[in-house]
Amino acid sequence: MNISYLFVGSVAVSVTYDHIASLLNLCMYYCIPYTDFTPKEDCVTLRFRLSAMRKLKKVCSERGVIYTVLDYKGLPAFLERYKYRWGIAVGIICAATLVFLSGCFIWDIRVTGNENITSAEVIELLDGYGFSVGTYIPSVNTDKLENKLLIDSRSISWISVNIVGTVAEVQIREYSEPKIEETALKPANLVAKKSGVVEEVRIFRGKVMVKPYQYVEKGTLLVSGIYDSERVGFRYTRASGAVMARTTNEYYVEIPYEYEDIRYTGEEYCDKYLNFFDFSINISKNSGKEGVLYDKIDIVENCSLFEGLQTPLETHTVRYLAYEKVQAIRTAEEAEALAYYELSELLGEAAEDSVIIRKTITPKVGEDSFSLYCVVTAIEDIAKLSEFEVDMGAG
Amino acid sequence: MSKNNNKNSKESRGFFEFLAAKTALPSDALAGEFRIEMRGRHTLFLQGCRRILKYSPEEMCMAAKGFSVSITGKGLICSTYHDGTVTVDGFIVGVNFDEREGADEI
């Protein structure tokens, strides 16, 4: 059937073989289109447009062509059938109106970027400026709202209100006052945190108490936070700076030949979850992994319809690979390689704050282990803050 | 005698048909002749149909200019009939031309 007939309405008629030729001639003569010409055993069925049927009815009665109406189809027939059921029409109109109007109001406010202020506080703050759930979207001037809120609020340093559909996405940055630590105001000395030979002194504040090439022990006063003056007496400050010294550090790494290793048993357990937004549903049976040592692998896959189009539906698979602990023995070569690796890791960490100028490594192959003894000479900052209390009343 | 003369006149070419042949113009355009077009054995177009004389799924007769065209076959249907053009679908077995009384009447 022609799809346009669904909208304009159609009527199916049946005509006997005696009258079909006359009916077709009338159709041609009066330009009445038809479709679905179907010959049956004793008649032929055709389908006409509802509007054309009115004309056909008139000319057929004039020429004595007999036909039988079989059915009415299409939108006009549907409306005709339900024309006395006003409730359906009213319901459809109300639903359409609600759908249209619902797009004009804020349905949800989502706040992001807040750490100390709660989302409820931000929403309440916005409510004070006439912006809340249910606000008429065309009446919202987001620029004005943002500016007003920034001027009046002390806790928010930046805000952006983006209306996406019927959801308002509010991004904020909280205002944080620069904090001055109380400890930064206390007077302090710089003392040596380890022994060494002073190479260079870089002082920003305080009185230098050591000289280059001077050997200092751990705990020696390097920079004093007290100024002694005959005119104004004692003054206190928080000494600051760096004292670079040549130090000697020792590192010791020991790798035993016998160690505890893990061996996978081949058993694997699996849990499957279905995530929808923040909701997660376990769709697998109990994996029965209780009391078993395992490594855990999480695999999250998004159920995207097309490439690049993400959906809120995800499958979350958790694989548990069971293992057991076993005693293992490594060779001397393996132990040596591991020892050098661990030593390099230690030296790498030490080199972050110092410059290594010499190192001496002494390997030792024992019966049960392989060990490395390393002596490193480096230049590093040995100054360490040492605060002290001042009794102001005594002065 | 008069009937034979009439028959002879229909079998012989008319002026416009003669002119169309001489000027290499299509006779359906110049002389108003009917035109039949077949696509395979399942679709037939007849242009210049004046009326449908008879219809059944086995035979369909149509009046054209001075003749009647009879199409025989199986499961014949008159898919469209508009502006003098008939589309006949179905398995076509034969096309015959008859001279019938009243074929020109509409």
**Cα–Cα distance for residue pair A40/A16, rounded to 1 Å:** 9
Closest residue, chain A, to B79 (C-alpha): A37
Tell me: the pLDDT tens digits for A108-122? 788 898 888 888 888
Task: Tell me if A192 sits within 8 A of A216, measured CB to CB.
Answer: yes
List residues of A whose CB lies inside 8 A of any B CB.
17, 20-21, 24-25, 27-29, 31, 33-34, 37-39, 44
Distance between A64 CA and the closest CA of chain B, angstroms: 16
| Residue with the two structure tokens 């001077």 | A214
Q: Are the Cβ atoms of A24 and B57 closer than 8 angstroms?
A: no
Q: Which chain B residues contact residue A63 at CB under 8 A?
A: none
- Which one of B81, B82, B86, B88 would you mutate to disrupt binding with A, by most A Cβ within 10 Å of its Cβ? B81
Tell me: the pLDDT tens digits for B12-70? 567 777 777 777 677 666 656 788 999 999 999 998 888 899 999 999 999 887 788 99
Token reading at A216: 């200092």
Burial class of residue A340 in the structure, from the number of CB atoms within 10 Å of its CB (0-12 exposed, 13-18 middle, 19+ buried): middle
Q: Are the Cβ atoms of B83 and A44 closer than 8 angstroms?
A: no
Tell me: the pLDDT tens digits for A316-368? 999 999 999 999 999 989 999 999 999 999 998 888 888 888 999 999 988 88
Q: What type of residue sits at position A269?
A: Y
**Cα–Cα distance for residue pair A270/A274, rounded to 1 Å:** 13
> Which residues, in sequence order, are CB contacts of A186 under 8 Å at separation 6+?
A238, A387
Task: Tell me if A378 sits within 8 A of A356, measured CB to CB.
Answer: yes
What integer pLDDT is reported at residue B5 of this predicted model?
Answer: 46
Distance between B79 CA and the closest CA of chain A, angstroms: 6
Number of CB pairs < 8 Å for A and B? 40
Sign of the dihedral defined by the CA atoms of residues A86, A87, A88, A93, in that order: positive
Provide the ipTM.
Answer: 0.73
Candidates A31, A33, A37; nearest CB to B77 = A37
Distance between A90 CA and the closest CA of chain B, angstroms: 42
Task: Tell me if A207 sits within 8 A of A226, measured CB to CB.
Answer: yes
Q: Are the Cβ atoms of B82 and A44 closer than 8 angstroms?
A: no
Percent of chain A scoring above 90 in pLDDT: 31
What integer pLDDT is reported at residue A309 of this predicted model?
Answer: 58
Distance between A25 CA and the closest CA of chain B, angstroms: 6
CA atoms within 13 A on the CB side of A118: 3
Task: Tell me if A255 sits within 8 A of A339, measured CB to CB.
Answer: yes
Token reading at A378: 């480096």
A84 has a pLDDT exceeding 70: yes
Q: Which chain B residues contact residue A39 at CB under 8 A?
A: 56-57, 75-77
Where b means 16+ CB within 10 Å and e means fewer, A215-252 reads ebeeebbbbbbeeeeeeeeeebbbbbbbbbbbbebebe
Residue B81 at interface with chain A, using a CB cutoff of 8 Å = yes
**Cα–Cα distance for residue pair B50/B47, rounded to 1 Å:** 9
- Per the document, the length of chain A is 395
What values do phi and psi take at A68, rounded to 5? -125, 130
Three-class secondary structure of residue B2 per DSSP? helix
Residue range A87-106: average pLDDT?
Answer: 85
Backbone dihedral region for residue A91 (phi beyond 0: left; psi -120 to 50: alpha; all else: beta): alpha
- Which one of A25, A34, A43 would you mutate to disrupt binding with B, by most B Cβ within 10 Å of its Cβ? A25
Round to the nearest angstrom and report the end-to-end CA distance of chain A: 109
What integer pLDDT is reported at residue B19 of this predicted model?
Answer: 74
Tell me: the pLDDT tens digits for A137-156? 889 999 999 999 888 888 88
A102 has a pLDDT exceeding 80: no
Token reading at A278: 């923040």
Distance between B36 CA and the closest CA of chain A, angstroms: 18
Tell me: the pLDDT tens digits for A158-169? 999 998 877 888
Summary mean pLDDT of chain A:
86
Task: Tell me if A383 sits within 8 A of A223, measured CB to CB.
Answer: yes
Q: Are the Cβ atoms of B54 and A21 closer than 8 angstroms?
A: yes
Task: Tell me if B54 sits within 8 A of B65, measured CB to CB.
Answer: no
Q: What type of residue sits at position B93?
A: V
Q: Which long-range contacts (CB under 8 A, 24 or more apart) does A211-218 make?
A: A216/A192, A216/A245, A216/A382, A217/A192, A218/A192, A218/A193, A218/A194
**Cα–Cα distance for residue pair A169/A163, rounded to 1 Å:** 6
Closest residue, chain B, to A46 (C-alpha): B79
Distance between A310 CA and the closest CA of chain B, angstroms: 50
Following CA atoms A141, A143, A145, A147 in sequence, which dihedral angle do they give, to the nearest 10 degrees? -160
Beta bridge partners of A62: none
Q: Which chain B residues contact residue A27 at CB under 8 A?
A: 81-82
Closest residue, chain A, to B81 (C-alpha): A28
What integer pLDDT is reported at residue A303 of this predicted model?
Answer: 77
Task: Tell me if A267 sits within 8 A of A292, measured CB to CB.
Answer: yes
**Cα–Cα distance for residue pair A262/B101, rounded to 1 Å:** 107
Following CA atoms A136, A139, A140, A144 in sequence, which dihedral angle do they give, to the nearest 10 degrees? -160
Residue B9: pLDDT band (50, 70, 90) is very low
Q: Are the Cβ atoms of A28 and B106 closer than 8 angstroms?
A: no
**Cα–Cα distance for residue pair A335/A353, rounded to 1 Å:** 29
Least confident of A23-37, A188-202, A270-284, A378-392: A270-284
Residue A206 gets which letter from DSSP? Answer: S
Beta bridge partners of A253: A372
